[in-house]
Structure 1
Amino acid sequence: MANEPSRITDNLLNVFNYCFVETVPYAFFKPNPERDIPVKLVGKEYHCECCGKVSTVKYNERPLTYYSKGKLAQERRIYDKLGKEFPFMGEIEDGAPFTNAAIGLCAECAKKEVLTADSPEQMAVNLSGQLHRADELLVAKARAAMEKSLADWLAKVEKPEDFLPYNLTDFNALRDFICAVMLEDTSPVEAILREYREEIAGIETKLRGLLETLPESWKAYAARSTAVFESMNDKMYHEYTVVFPAPGQMPEDYYIYRTIEKKRVLMFLEQPRVEELEELLMEVGFHGEWIDMVTSRLESLAHEKE
């Protein structure tokens, strides 16, 4: 097990976001007064078009964020649709705080309107979301199983002296000891991997079949977390154009009606996924909390001895 997770899971997340969340690519950016508009962007409002719920997200404070003219025109159209008064350009240029907006469906309404839809266009996006969740849960489930095996082993230790044969004097010794304990019985992790492979095989088969019937692009609702970054340029993202939600806010999923490209969905579908136990162990990596579990058990045994 490595100290850092490998790149399979990271790549899957990045490609999923590129397909369904923040779809513009990274590029070099130099503000151009004829093309880019500096805005004091402070937050975003997500409006549910079904129930009327409004979720407000505060952005990390920064002096200015650069909008492309096309992106700002999109904002104006959303304001118009909501019946809100869009600020005058003079106000924006003078640095008046600006809140952008999005219209979609909240998670509760999406359960009824989107996640049960039977149109091929929406089903393809929903299946991609299921595949993404399976990818994300695989590592979390495997880590939980590995931590349980360590906790079970530690619970059986009756006195501090039982650790002496392992010579746990430095980080490397602790790491090797923990890995050895976790690798004594990998059957729970193997079962998790087997279930994952069976689950995604069914999803992939259905998704491939749907994609064969769909055009090169179509419109559908795709989930967007209120916790993800967003570019204010409709062609690319860069440090000058990106805003990040401030920490400490409860994330929500809003479903935004947007253009979906078949080639991007295929890209996500065809990404390498975890197949072998060794790959999964590498994805989980090694975590400092596991050392804390060992030291905590040692301390509790020492107190019991006193």
Structure 2
Amino acid sequence: MCFSAAVRAEFKAFQNLFPKSRLSIKDFFELYLRRKSKPKPVLRTPKAMDAQFAKSHAQDLAEIRALIEEFDAAQKVETEQDLFKQRQRLADAQRSLQNKPTKKAADDERIATTKIEQALAKLKRLQREDLSAGDSRIFPGWWAPVLMFENGEPIVRPMRYQCRPAGKPVNYDTRFPGTYNARRDNLRGFWNQQFGATHGVMIVTRFYENVSRDGSNVVLEFQPEPAQDMLVACLYSHWMPPAGSDEDDLWSFAAITDEPPPEVAAAGHDRCIVQLRPENVQAWLTPQGRSLEELDALLDDKAPAYYAHKLAA
């Protein structure tokens, strides 16, 4: 399954596919408003997705830009406060270790040191304006832009990378934590409400998988050769809260995975995301009126690529 992926978050990447694509400003605004007004649990978005709004001077994106700036400022204050607390904890632990070594003092020193490193890295990430390679990476539970068709129009919406099918209870997320991927061999079973009905595409430049090496888990980075944008076939759902619930509605998606090509299997992984051919994207995104056999044929007709791999940084 696709444990993590580096996504193309900028709207222009989707416009290259469909010049008449529309950005759902309302949904992005609601996402960033929810992230600011309901800080726990934190709604995680890749910095690359935030950047397309933070760096834009478009007037219709001004409210989103302000929400991102407010959230980042609050995160900076919170992180600086935690950094001060952990530095105090480290100093106290080191004094204790000098006077009378104890397990608690040793644990406090170790934990505080780790938390200080994490806080400093987070502050550096918040203050950095230029994007780095890791700023486009998402994990299960994170949000990413997904292309879909609505009323005959290509539209880009933010969706959570873990699908909660419509009608399911909120605890479905914890009962089925692997629903960020949809197995190809279960599309007509577990995913039968989405397959043939609600299809999307995520644009990915590389993906990451956990594999076992010499009894240990390592993370491998897979990148297509030649380098290219991968148009990944996805299923999505628009979950609506039941009457009387204080939950928010949720757009969420899963990436379809299939049997791996030889080079991915040889690297030690048993699944691989499905990369569509560009000429098949519109047919995939408009499944209504198409047979399941026709849609299966689109998934069979994968874009040609060789997935080279290396240890992830």
TM-score category of the 2 structures, normalised to the smaller one: under 0.3
TM-score by length of 1: 0.25
Compare CA radii of gyration and give the structure with the larger one.
Answer: 1
Higher RCO (CA 8 Å, separation ≥ 6 residues):
1
Return the structure number with greater helix share.
1
TM-score by length of 2: 0.25
Return the structure number with greater strand share.
2
